[in-house]
Amino acid sequence: MIKILKRLWLPTRLEALAPWYANFTLKFTQYAAQLGLAADLPFVIEDNATIQWAADANEVAKTNLSGFIKFRDELLYAEKHSDAPTAPVTDLPPAPAKLTWAIIQRLVNLGERIELAPGYTSDVGAQLGIIPPQANGVSPADVKPTAQVFAAQNGYQFSVVVSNRAESNMFEVEIRRAGQENWTIVKVASGKSIDVTIEPTAQGKPEQIQVRVRLKKNNADYGQPSDAVYVTVNP
């Protein structure tokens, strides 16, 4: 049975783990002696080689599968007078001379030893990538979303795409019209984007408004509002 080991700093997807571990290897090479863990460096280098190969092989395997499915369908469903299908290539990239295993368990154990090492500092942890984002100095109060606003061609409608949402699970879309001081909530959403339709100040005329986003977590305000974005909605 495979035991799943989770840490807040540990990427769970191979395509994210590969660049993370490449950086970890680079920085661990730099700090291994300071941490008193130089004896672990060869294992880190070998594990990195295995991870990079596995990531590349995974992408090749995906492509191979797609190619095989197309080949299979051509075998079964091609027209009688069509060209004969070509069998797909299924080779994986060359593996390292030594493939390692139990990599995640070894990495988690090493991460714990790094944090206990006499030469460890929070800066070293951040460079190694073993400090979670919040512990790395970003508190919930400092979270600030980014709002991208796109006006529709007509209908007094615009779309809002929100990024940098951290742990929020909702957001409010607020607008401010020309000459107004206060912001007005026009939409509440729980996804990444939302379409908004507003009632114009003057029917039949374009109107320029300001739009911003305020994050929510469990119905409470979360972080700071986004920067205001100007958008012109059209009739």
Long-range contacts of range 108-116, CB-CB < 8 Å, 24 or more positions apart?
108/5, 108/7, 108/10, 110/37, 110/40, 110/44, 111/7, 111/9, 111/10, 113/37, 114/35, 114/37
Whether 73 and 100 map to the same domain: the answer is: yes
Whether 107 and 18 map to the same domain: the answer is: yes
How would you write the pLDDT of the chain (235 residues) with one tens digit per residue? Answer: 344 455 778 888 888 899 999 999 999 999 999 999 999 999 999 999 999 999 999 988 888 888 888 888 888 888 877 788 888 877 888 999 999 999 999 999 999 999 999 999 888 998 899 876 544 445 677 788 899 999 988 999 999 989 888 888 899 999 999 989 899 999 999 888 899 999 999 999 999 999 999 999 888 888 899 999 999 999 9
Whether 192 and 152 map to the same domain: the answer is: yes
Q: Which domain holds residue 71?
A: 14-128
Whether 124 and 33 map to the same domain: the answer is: yes
Whether 24 and 93 map to the same domain: the answer is: yes
Q: Is residue 153 part of a domain?
A: yes
Region class of 113: left (phi > 0), else alpha (psi between -120 and 50), else beta: alpha
Q: Which of 128, 150, 181 is the last residue of a domain?
A: 128
CA-to-CA dists, residue 117 to 36, 113, 137, 148, angstroms: 7, 6, 21, 44
Give the sheet arrangement for strand 157-163, strand by strand.
146-151, 157-163, 193-197
Nearest-angstrom CA–CA distance, 178 and 102: 61
Whether 171 and 225 map to the same domain: the answer is: yes
The answer to whether the CB of 208 falls within 8 A of the CB of 230 is yes
Q: Is residue 2 part of a domain?
A: no
Q: Is residue 122 part of a domain?
A: yes
Whether 88 and 121 map to the same domain: the answer is: yes
| Full-model pTM | 0.54
Whether 50 and 123 map to the same domain: the answer is: yes
Cα angle: 173, vertex 176, 181; to 5 degrees: 130
